[in-house]
Chains A and B, each alone.
Chain A
């Protein structure tokens, strides 16, 4: 079974530029997450989708970050304009079904490594 796919793996941009990351979750997984992992820290949730609806985006900096999952499968995370502090690994993850006390396992992709200079 294919895992969570992400691209690009690495991206270097200048501050104030824009960048977009793509994620394809595990087939059949209704819930998709974007996490941000700053060097030396644990991942932090940015946004959670259930199918194509947003469940939780309370920690997404909405002035510069946006995400969509239009058809309930693939998702795109965009940053515009980027700041130096956005340098991090952006991890996409998926699970069978979230939103409640299911305790489903969340599977992660390899991440997209962003460096803002």
Chain B
């Protein structure tokens, strides 16, 4: 069965620090997709990135970067020079393509607090 582990429950940093959120996944699928979502206090899950299992290139988008390593089944997320607005709960998710559906299996999330 698909599983996503986010071992860090809560992280607190001071503004301008770099921070890495860890994500480890388990799957037997050869083709799969990994996602990161941000959930601010308002509750909406905001899509950040999608990565397919055949593309192991790291990606950078502004202050955000993602490191996908298939060998260790990890898809870590780094925020460079963190800001107070980055405070939120971040979820890593894995596609579950069994049985014709296409649902996401989420980790428990990491709550990031960026202090001024």
Contact = CB atoms under 8 A, between A and B. Distances in A.
A19 interface: no
A99 B101 contact: yes
B79 interface: no
Interface in B82-116: 91, 93, 95, 97, 99-104, 106-109
A110 interface: yes
A53 to B, nearest CB: 11
A105 B104 contact: no
Contacts of B46: 108
Contact of A110 (B43, B91, B103, B106): B43
B52 interface: yes
Contacts of A103: 33, 50, 52, 95, 102
Nearest to A59: B103
A60 interface: no
26 contacts: A3-B44, A42-B107, A42-B108, A43-B91, A43-B106, A44-B106, A45-B104, A48-B101, A48-B103, A55-B100, A55-B102, A89-B43, A99-B100, A99-B102, A100-B102, A101-B31, A101-B102, A102-B102, A103-B95, A105-B35, A105-B50, A106-B104, A107-B47, A108-B37, A108-B44, A109-B44
Given A42-B106, A44-B106, 4 more contacts: A42-B91, A45-B101, A55-B101, A58-B99
